[in-house]
Structure 1
Amino acid sequence: METLITLESFVRSAQSASFSAAARRLGLTPAAVSQNVARLEARLGVRLFQRSTRGLTLTEPGERFLREVSGGLETLQTAIANVSLAAERPAGVLKVSMAPAFGLGYLVPMLQDFLARYPDIVPDWHLDNRPVDLINEGFDAAIGGGFDLPSGLAARELARAHVIAVASPSYVARISPPKDPADLQRHEGILLRSPLTGRIRTWPLRNRAGEQVAVDMRARMILNDPEAVCHCALMGLGIAFVATMNAVPHLRSGALVRLLPDWYADIGPIALYYAGHRQLSAKTRVFVDFVVSEFKRQDLAGMFDARGADAGRAHKGTRAKR
């Protein structure tokens, strides 16, 4: 009978067409994965891969074996993971992706309570501003927006992602604050270039009455990182569009002022993504339940809502000049 790691080495190598990529997912060296596959081929008496400098290609017997073994391997892995659930001690490495500002501001502060409740789980959290491929990159879950939702994945919406116009009090003191979105064209804009598309991000603004307008700002500077945009706004370098989840702490402290408090952009959901098969691993299930519960307990969805009190705060001087 083949060992679980031998079969997993074959399946992951087939999925990624690379021993190196499979090794990264399994926490092994490429040589170890290659040796596991070679032992499996020797045991079966067939060649499963054609190997070349361009990568791995499944042979016909390899394709047939992959179809037959993949489902059974996933079932076995899920069964092993769920043994810990039966003992009420979910365990294992929990690999999760999230944006740096969101992770540091909201998820990392949850770690102490989460680890106290589930001491056998080891968080392996990747703070990165990019949508990840959960399946091929071996993530248990991801939190963010803009993810594709292929077959086999599920999503739990945590909050709406709203974007608002902000500036520092020092910048507001030097200008005649905008009274409507069209006024933004007269001011220095700190613009965001999408690291994925290379395009400068623009958002149509809407208000509570349902009106919607397109907004263009004169570029004072262009950056490809949302946190850098927020930091430049804090320095008084211009007006920036910042996600409410990033802006709220600065609005509360007075380091940033919200402009056009009746206007915002809705850029979609902040969601928790994970494998959607019925036998979800215990560690992932308790993580999903914990995060959803904490969002409700702390009312983070309300905090991120641009129509609420936290994101709706505006500088007294701003309102007085309108």
Structure 2
Amino acid sequence: METLANLESFVRSAEHGSFSEAARRLSLTPAAVSRNVAILERNLGVRLFHRSTRKLTLTEAGEAFRLAIADNLDGIQAAIAGAASGAGEPTGTLRVSMSPTFGMTHILPLLPAFLARYPRIRPEWHFENRAVDLVAEGYDAAIGGGFDLSPGVVARTLAPAHIIAVASPAYMAGRVPPIDPAGLQALNGIVMRSLQTGRVRHWAMRDVAGNEMRAPLAESIVLNDPAAMREAAMLGLGVAMLAVPDVLPALENGTLVRLVPRWYSDAGAISIYYASRALLPAKTRTFVDWVAEAFKRERLAERFAGSLT
């Protein structure tokens, strides 16, 4: 039996003539929509779309299939929404994975009001620096970036993941601030060694005009955790390249200052991931909507944008 995710990807792609537009409407990536459609075609044993670099058009079999399921799909989605809304108060254990620094700074403070509104939900939150497998590991949701969108996994973008250069006012006292990323090499660098690859991560930076330049930080101090890098920078040990959300409170209270403020690195997006768009438990949908509304209310997407000085 086909999953609703595959069928919905097909119907929305047919409606809009584009995997990209369907992905935008479904809060998926174009690759995930294309993969869902490919799985559907393989399972049915027919080609549903003619694909070209310019457009997406239905085959004869694809048009017949669309006409056969379109109304039924809408009915199923309406039934699911009705059942979810009529199922009573959201309840159950809510297993969520998120990075320690980001989660404790920006998500954990949302918990008191969330539990006051939904007291029958029991949070089980894991703070970890890794991309989990939502389905295999039994998570209801995860917040972060760089997750693989396997079939049926939805990503709802919350904010950009921009990396900026920061240091303490004490470290910069008496030093000439660099005018571009290349100038960072004259300063002590606090860099991170990846737990996955074992390599030290170096960044290229860009400005809003589209210019790009490497940021060659010296490997003066090597750490393996963003929170430790932030603390080392606040101790005046050098310059660190860190995600804006991880250093925003320190920037706002003056504990850290931003260097080369016109420049940033783009690490993608911060998203909230969950395992299925349809048949989503009320506890998960409630949490996803709560987080998304908080980001909107607090203007976090704008505040996390390293492209804004």
Give the C-alpha shift of residue 87 in structure 1.
Answer: 4.0
**Does residue 125 of structure 1 match 2:125?**
yes
1:156 match: 156
Give the C-alpha shift of residue 144 in structure 1.
Answer: 0.2
Give the C-alpha shift of residue 142 in structure 1.
Answer: 0.1
Matches of residues 14-93 of structure 1 in structure 2 within 5 Å? Answer: 85-93=85-93
Question: 1: CA distance between counterparts of 2:204 and 2:283?
Answer: 39
**Does residue 112 of structure 1 match 2:112?**
yes
Task: Give the stretch that moved more between structures: 233-242 or 173-182.
Answer: 173-182
**Does residue 191 of structure 1 match 2:191?**
yes
Q: Which one-letter code corresponds to 1:247 in the other structure?
A: V
1:116-157 CA-to-partner distances (Å, cap 9, x unmatched) read: 111110010001111111111110000001111101101000
1:240 match: 240
- Mapped contact 2:164–2:242 kept (Cα < 8 A): yes
Give the C-alpha shift of residue 238 in structure 1.
Answer: 0.4
Question: 2: CA distance between counterparts of 1:143 and 1:102?
Answer: 9
Q: Which one-letter code corresponds to 2:230 in the other structure?
A: C
1:290 match: 290
Q: Which one-letter code corresponds to 2:232 in the other structure?
A: C
1:179-213 CA-to-partner distances (Å, cap 9, x unmatched) read: 11111111110001111111111221000111011
- Secondary structure in structure 2 of the residue aligned to 1:263: coil
Q: Which runs of 4+ in 1 moved over 6 A?
A: none
1:45-85 CA-to-partner distances (Å, cap 9, x unmatched) read: xxxxxxxxxxxxxxxxxxxxxxxxxxxxxxxxxx9xx9775
Give the C-alpha shift of residue 277 in structure 1.
Answer: 4.3
1:320 match: none
1:266 match: 266
TM-score (norm 1): 0.69
Matches of residues 196-235 of structure 1 in structure 2 within 5 Å? Answer: 196-235=196-235
Question: 1: CA distance between counterparts of 2:198 and 2:169?
Answer: 31
Give the C-alpha shift of residue 98 in structure 1.
Answer: 0.3
Aligned residue pairs: how many? 230
Unaligned runs of 5+ in 2: 1-78
Question: 1: CA distance between counterparts of 2:292 and 2:158?
Answer: 7
Unaligned runs of 5+ in 1: 1-78, 313-322
Question: 2: CA distance between counterparts of 1:176 and 1:106?
Answer: 33
After superposition, the CA RMSD in angstroms is 1.7
Question: 2: CA distance between counterparts of 1:282 and 1:274?
Answer: 12
Give the C-alpha shift of residue 306 in structure 1.
Answer: 1.2
Task: Give the stretch that moved more between structures: 237-246 or 171-180.
Answer: 171-180
- Secondary structure in structure 2 of the residue aligned to 1:306: coil
- Mapped contact 2:95–2:139 kept (Cα < 8 A): yes
- Secondary structure in structure 1 of the residue aligned to 2:200: coil
- Mapped contact 2:84–2:281 kept (Cα < 8 A): no
1:66 match: none
Matches of residues 296-315 of structure 1 in structure 2 within 5 Å? Answer: 296-308=296-308, 312=309
Question: 2: CA distance between counterparts of 1:203 and 1:217?
Answer: 9
